[in-house]
Structure 1
Amino acid sequence: METLIPIINRLQEVFLTVGAEIIQLPQIVVVGSQSSGKSSVLESLVGQDFLPRGSGIVTRRPLVLQLVNVSPLEERRKQDNGIKAEEWGTFLHCKNQIFTDFSEIRKEIEEETDRSTNNKGISPEPIYLKIYSPNVLSLTLVDLPGITKVPVGDQPEDIETQVQEMILSYISNPNSLILCVSPANSDLATSDALKLAREVDPDGHRTLLVVSKLDLMDAGTDALEVLLGRIIPVRLGIIGVVNRSQHDLNTQKSLDDSCKDEQVFLQRHYPSLASRCGSRYLARTLSRLLMHHIRDCLPVLKTRVTVLTAQNQSRLNSYGQPVEDHSATLLQIVTKFATDYCNTIEGTARHIQTSELCGGARICYIFHETFGRTLQSIDPLGGLTELDILTAIRNATGPRPALFVPEVSFELLVKKQIKRLEEPSLRCVELVHEELQRIIQHCSAYSTQVHNLVAIELAYINTKHPDFTDAAQVSASFLSLSQAEAGDGGKRWKNEKMPSEDKGPVPGFGSPTKAINLLDTAVPVSRKLSTREQRDCEVIQRLIKCYFLIVRKSIQDRSDS
């Protein structure tokens, strides 16, 4: 039985780390109004002055106080660890730091409270304090802010509601015991602490009442009827205590002396109840109640832990088999991801959608339907007029007309048309990229591949391509006609009048004051092509169309692969 409380203390620390708030552990929650004597009751249980004091709300964060009884064996281990004091404390937020001076514990509580609260407000984040002493009983208490009515100073206007909500969040736990502290010099029927306790524990099965300040009652009155339970029925009992006065605090009266004076007072004024009242009896009662309460809660806690363990184990199993070699963990994860990724593209994944195309099916649709139709819709000669072709031929022949169609003009024009395949190809990559992003955010290499693919075709015009033979034969068929007209072809080109000659001299020619403007010698759109020029344009058009279709098929085949 004695090991139950240390186990619960350890579970509290573990659950704080892992965040298991769904398991409600047994604990004792201290509730009381401001100046009800909560701090004096807790310090009497510890036997040390360690809690902040002052006006207003001094306790502004929940304080989880774990008392650990140190055995003689642990005392020897303590000496081996270099701890010379008989009593010391540790905070969960100050790891590896030991406080042997309890005034430093008080200071740390104040500073830690100020770290998470502003303007004297409250915070639900608890402070975990563990005190080791041979003079305490193993016990766990949660000290909450005192119930207040009126905000003081910079406190928020709804401070009363905030405090009550915090208290209710703790005492609503069915595994919590409620320690209500109410002063004897006030009407217990109006006790705010008892009122909140009755809201969550109407039968009083989890409530223990501590009547503080018995020595401050008016002369001629006593709290005998209250201590006997005849006014306020509480199942766990009613215990009266005598707190240290402000004069005792100012004169630094020790807690041992206070306990002795307390027993003297109880024997004098409540002799029949002296053995069932006082701080020492309260400590024994709380320790006993907590152990029994933990024992009663264990079956439910065990069932809850078993259910949560099974749920989390099932979730853990869904992540796959454990890896024995931890160095290979990353490799196995990457391999598993790559396999699932490939299965999604190949259509062999476990879960296949039925509402829309996805993965490899959508990529296939993009290539064969969207991309294919787009390529088919591109006219090999689109945007290329006969005037453009004739201009390219003339630019390629230079000052003297050639007997045959210059190959340079063909390469120049076919490159221009092949360049038009780049935009729809890149759009295809974007569509595929969007689909791949739905599987994984990675497809940056494909755009570069398309640029390189088109650049390769632009770098070298392969007129020796087998599929280009038909175009070459067409060019040869026109070659004989060109040779027949070779005799007068050059003469016609030389004697042919330019449109500007009909309207006078070309600007720049015959006028020494004007510079030659070569743009004025360009072939106008309205000019009618001669038979030779028309034939040359047709040759270039057929060559461009044939080679364009060859390159288009090559790009489409490489995209499919």
Structure 2
Amino acid sequence: MLIAASRPSIPHVHPVSACIMADREREAARILNPAATAYEVLGVPPNATHEQIAAQHRELRVRWHPDKHRNSHERATQIFQKIEQAWDTLQDPSRRAKYDQELRRQAVSQDAFAGEGSIGATLRSGAYGRILKAMEELPRGLADDLLLPQIVVVGSESAGKSSLMERIAMQAFFPRAEGFCTRMAIRLKMMHRPHESRVMIRCLRTSNGQVAMFNGMPAEQRFEVDGVQHTVIQRIIERFIAQVHGQDDGRSVLTDIEIEIEFRACNVPTLTLVDLPGIVSMPADVRQQTLELTRRYLRDPNTLVLCVINGNEAALRGSRALEEISEHAVARPAFSKTIVVTTRTDLWVQSNGLVSLARRLADPKNEVGCEPVALIPVINREAPKENQVDGYSLPDLVKKERAKFEEWQAKEPGLRGKPLGILSVLDALNDLFETHMSEVWVPQAKRKLIELRAATKKQLGDFG
């Protein structure tokens, strides 16, 4: 007689129970995520009411109490502790308000500077970032004496200089009122500060660095970045400029006044960008004043130049900005610290085709009559409003530009492998920084260290 072998019983899991278990695992993973905010831990939106947060906390507290998870007591304890920490952060209105402010501050900094296409992300990953990190370990007095390079943007009026700077800094700070013309330098001074997020705008006397006075009041204003719209900053700058020009005929180029925007945040590199007034052909006196101001910056040994040219023109080599760099830049060879950026590339391609753009990039020296570090076309004609253009954020515009260039490269083989767009500008700047730091900054730092060592040795000798 054959006896059938008994089969081991397989526990049956009801489909509904399986779904619940899967939901619990996803919930546990969300709570244990190290990057999760207090809102994400509790599974509520940032705008949830106190009652909604309290109800969700009670539900999670019961569900994940360690006593209910004896087979995974340690894991449940970790989850329970994170739930309680999140509740402790959000239950008190004042504590929650401070937490919300910190989240917004981080979001502003990360969106502006830490994302793809930002100068912060690019520079921190290169030699410049390593130098900045090394500077943090130097004695404060020594670090303050070491001058870091500044990016000076030169070009003709309406060439797209301000727009380019906005793409680099990922901030739409610069004035864009209809018919508005800036006749002075605007300096964007970004400073890496781990626990700050503030903006200071002021008019400075370039002769002594003092804040200018108007009607007996200092021309400066400061505020936290959190909640401040970019148009507010634009209007403040426009008001300061109007006050300055109110003291002359409104047409003169002011070489002794500079608008400084000091931006301190956790995710920005310590870096300075200067937008110079556009070079005009007429009136003659304004042209001469603009050239004198441009030359003063070009003669600074810590200046790195972005030369902006309207790329929708047939002849690039006739640019007056290129002539000024050739004659007055302190760097030798003259264009060894200059990146040439051509704007309105889409208009050029629309009129002349992709082959003409490829031909232009194939021989940069022939096109611009010099040998810059790089010749890079960009698309940046739009004017941002509230840090957006036609509903797109500045980071979105960087992605749109890259997609357009990739589309062109797929159609025209001559464009493949060529530097195109703002991301290539940032890469070229990073290379330029590395060269400048090794040639100028490192020798300067060594001399300062030797001087400091000698002075310290002398002081010790004086003490016997």
For 2:290, give the aligned amino acid.
V
Question: Aligned ranges for residues 270-419 of structure 1 at < 5 Å?
Answer: 270-271=409-410, 272-273=415-416, 276-302=419-445
Shift of 1:37: 0.7
Cα distance in 2 for residues equivalent to 1:224 and 1:299: 38
Shift of 1:66: 2.7
Cα distance in 2 for residues equivalent to 1:161 and 1:7: 42
- CA offsets, 1:297-334, max 9 Å, x none? 12553477689999x99xxx9xxx9xxxxxxxxxxxxx
1:204 is aligned, of 324, 332, 335, to: 335
Does residue 243 of structure 1 match 2:380? yes
2:291 is aligned, of 164, 177, 196, to: 164
Cα distance in 2 for residues equivalent to 1:185 and 1:299: 40
Cα distance in 2 for residues equivalent to 1:299 and 1:277: 31
- CA offsets, 1:242-264, max 9 Å, x none? 01336998745432332222112
In the alignment, structure 2 segments of 5+ residues that lack a partner are 1-126, 203-210, 212-219
Shift of 1:283: 2.4
SS in 1 for 2:184: coil
SS in 2 for 1:266: helix
- CA offsets, 1:157-201, max 9 Å, x none? 511000000001111223321110001111202111111111134
Question: Aligned ranges for residues 412-561 of structure 1 at < 5 Å?
Answer: none
1:251–1:7 CA distance, 2 compared to 1 (3 A): same
1:216 is aligned, of 338, 347, 355, to: 347
2:181 corresponding residue in structure 1: 58
For 2:345, give the aligned amino acid.
L
Normalising by structure 2, what TM-score?
0.53
Does residue 227 of structure 1 match 2:361? yes
Does residue 258 of structure 1 match 2:397? yes
For 1:195, give the aligned amino acid.
E
Cα distance in 1 for residues equivalent to 2:189 and 2:335: 25
Cα distance in 2 for residues equivalent to 1:6 and 1:115: 40
1:47 is aligned, of 170, 174, 178, to: 170
The structure with more strand, counted as a fraction of residues: 2
1:27 corresponding residue in structure 2: 150
Cα distance in 1 for residues equivalent to 2:278 and 2:185: 10
Cα distance in 1 for residues equivalent to 2:290 and 2:428: 27
- CA offsets, 1:80-110, max 9 Å, x none? xxx6xxxx53336647533432222212222
Cα distance in 1 for residues equivalent to 2:324 and 2:309: 12
2:274 corresponding residue in structure 1: 142
Cα distance in 2 for residues equivalent to 1:7 and 1:251: 41
1:90 is aligned, of 193, 200, 223, to: 200
- CA offsets, 1:97-152, max 9 Å, x none? 3343222221222223234333322222223223356776553211111101123x
Normalising by structure 1, what TM-score?
0.44
SS in 2 for 1:49: coil
Question: Aligned ranges for residues 118-157 of structure 1 at < 5 Å?
Answer: 118-120=248-250, 121-124=252-255, 125-132=257-264, 139-151=271-283
1:256–1:306 CA distance, 2 compared to 1 (3 A): closer
For 1:293, give the aligned amino acid.
H
2:407 is aligned, of 268, 286, 289, to: 268
CA contact (8 A) 2:201 2:237 kept: no
Shift of 1:275: 6.9
1:295–1:234 CA distance, 2 compared to 1 (3 A): same
1:113 corresponding residue in structure 2: 241
Cα distance in 2 for residues equivalent to 1:195 and 1:8: 36
2:317 is aligned, of 178, 186, 189, to: 189
CA contact (8 A) 2:365 2:371 kept: no
2:215 corresponding residue in structure 1: none
Cα distance in 2 for residues equivalent to 1:123 and 1:7: 37
Cα distance in 2 for residues equivalent to 1:174 and 1:44: 25
- CA offsets, 1:207-262, max 9 Å, x none? 11111110011523332233332523434111111013369987454323322221
Cα distance in 1 for residues equivalent to 2:133 and 2:378: 27
Cα distance in 1 for residues equivalent to 2:383 and 2:417: 24
For 1:119, give the aligned amino acid.
D
- CA offsets, 1:12-42, max 9 Å, x none? xx99xx9x9xx97532211011110111111
Does residue 102 of structure 1 match 2:230? yes
SS in 1 for 2:376: strand
1:220–1:230 CA distance, 2 compared to 1 (3 A): same
Cα distance in 1 for residues equivalent to 2:161 and 2:327: 21
Cα distance in 2 for residues equivalent to 1:185 and 1:262: 17
1:219–1:195 CA distance, 2 compared to 1 (3 A): same
Shift of 1:281: 2.8
Cα distance in 1 for residues equivalent to 2:378 and 2:269: 18
CA contact (8 A) 1:34 1:57 kept: no
- CA offsets, 1:261-290, max 9 Å, x none? 211221122454477321133224324422
1:150–1:176 CA distance, 2 compared to 1 (3 A): same
CA contact (8 A) 1:209 1:234 kept: no
For 1:281, give the aligned amino acid.
S
1:274–1:102 CA distance, 2 compared to 1 (3 A): farther
**Which one has more relative contact order, counting CA pairs under 8 Å at least 6 apart?**
2
Cα distance in 1 for residues equivalent to 2:380 and 2:186: 20
SS in 2 for 1:209: strand
Cα distance in 1 for residues equivalent to 2:302 and 2:134: 15
For 2:254, give the aligned amino acid.
S
2:7 corresponding residue in structure 1: none
Cα distance in 1 for residues equivalent to 2:201 and 2:382: 29
Cα distance in 1 for residues equivalent to 2:267 and 2:409: 26
For 2:404, give the aligned amino acid.
F
1:175 corresponding residue in structure 2: 302
For 2:240, give the aligned amino acid.
E
1:303–1:32 CA distance, 2 compared to 1 (3 A): same
Cα distance in 2 for residues equivalent to 1:50 and 1:91: 11
Percent of aligned pairs sharing the same letter: 26
For 1:234, give the aligned amino acid.
E
1:5–1:293 CA distance, 2 compared to 1 (3 A): farther
- CA offsets, 1:512-557, max 9 Å, x none? xxxxxxxxxxxxxxxxxxxxxxxxxxxxxxxxxxxxxxxxxxxxxx
Cα distance in 1 for residues equivalent to 2:398 and 2:382: 13
- CA offsets, 1:397-425, max 9 Å, x none? xxxxxxxxxxxxxxxxxxxxxxxxxxxxx
**Higher alpha-carbon Rg:** 1
CA contact (8 A) 2:149 2:271 kept: no
